[in-house]
Amino acid sequence: MAVHAHPDDEASKGSATMARYLAEGNRVHVVTCTGGERGDVLNPRLADDPRVKSDLVDLRRQEMAASRDVVGYEHTWLGFVDSGLPEGDPLPPLPPGCFALEPLDVTTEALVRVIREFRPHVVTTYDENGGYPHPDHIMTHLVTISAVRAAGDPEAYPHAGEPWQPLKVYYDRTFSRAKLEAYHDVLVTAGRESPYPAWLERRADRPEGRITTRVDASKWFDVRTKALLAHATQIDPDGQFFALSADEQATAWPMEDWDIALSAVPVAEDENDLFAGLGTPEEADAMATATPPAKMVVDDVVERKES
């Protein structure tokens, strides 16, 4: 189960990994916390499209459905309202009723219901910084960690379904410095202009997230490209996402990268599979339904401060 803030986040963050696991016979479920109602139109070709001006909310739902169909996962809208990205100095207050201002117990209960219904062994989301400091991304992190800890507890939200304990939680590490530098090197070697120095400069002040797990998903990078392009209002087809073709991306950096945050099983130092250590599906199910619930801790091999 991948928990994301807005429609389009799921396409740029881990969609090739999702496509790989679907191809291998696993079920995959994406949860989108908000409708992306306050998102900007980032594709200049659509800036004056009448559909954008008449009903952006419905258009983003249509785009999400198209992207979902490309990859093939199951999907749930959690139903909260996009907070927008505040800008200015000082920053303006967030709009009343938005996702980032919702009480944590309300948002946690909503996600617990979906977890207990879908029964995932693995959950992916953003780190405590949101991947980048958008209030909805930070809230998505808080909600996901809260819901994962509550979902296996029979005393937490007892009316929200039978207890189910997800066994591993990962943070996505989509844009590491090393990956962007590898992309840049491919373009420079080919004598082509690279957008990545400016991208790296914009990220210079952000902490570089740890990577513990690399999943080879290169066979599905073309799926990732198509899933991204389905979000037409949010993705510029001439933008930096597409400076390299899917094949060139696979040559430069064939993995999608992750950071283990919580786990009920030991984690290997050279982990290359999000399901590693969980045993057979039946064994994982037994851990997920155990009484008392499986204890979610950080393995000694990959120590980190708990969120």
**pLDDT score for 298:** 67
**pLDDT score for 63:** 96
**pLDDT score for 304:** 45
Q: Map out the domains of the chain with their CATH numbers.
A: 2-174+256-302 (3.40.50.10320)
Per-residue pLDDT of the chain (307 residues; tens, 9 = 90+): 999 999 999 999 999 999 999 999 999 999 999 999 998 888 888 878 888 877 888 999 999 999 999 999 999 999 999 999 988 888 899 999 999 999 999 999 999 999 999 999 999 999 999 988 899 999 999 999 999 999 999 999 999 999 999 999 999 999 899 999 999 999 999 999 999 998 888 888 877 889 999 999 999 999 999 999 999 999 999 888 899 999 999 999 999 999 999 999 999 988 999 999 999 999 999 999 998 888 888 644 444 444 3
CB contact at 8 A, 176 and 211: yes
* Annotated binding-site members: 6, 9, 137
Neighbours of 166 (CB within 10 A): 25
* Annotated binding-site members for Zn(2+): 6, 9, 137
User: Over the range 24-59, which residues count as b (16 or more CB within 10 Å of their CB) and which as e?
Assistant: eebebbbbbbbbbbbbebebeeeeeeeebeeebeeb
**pLDDT score for 140:** 98
Q: Which residue has the tokens 């594709």?
A: 43
Q: Which of 299, 243, 296 is nearest to 268 (CA)?
A: 299
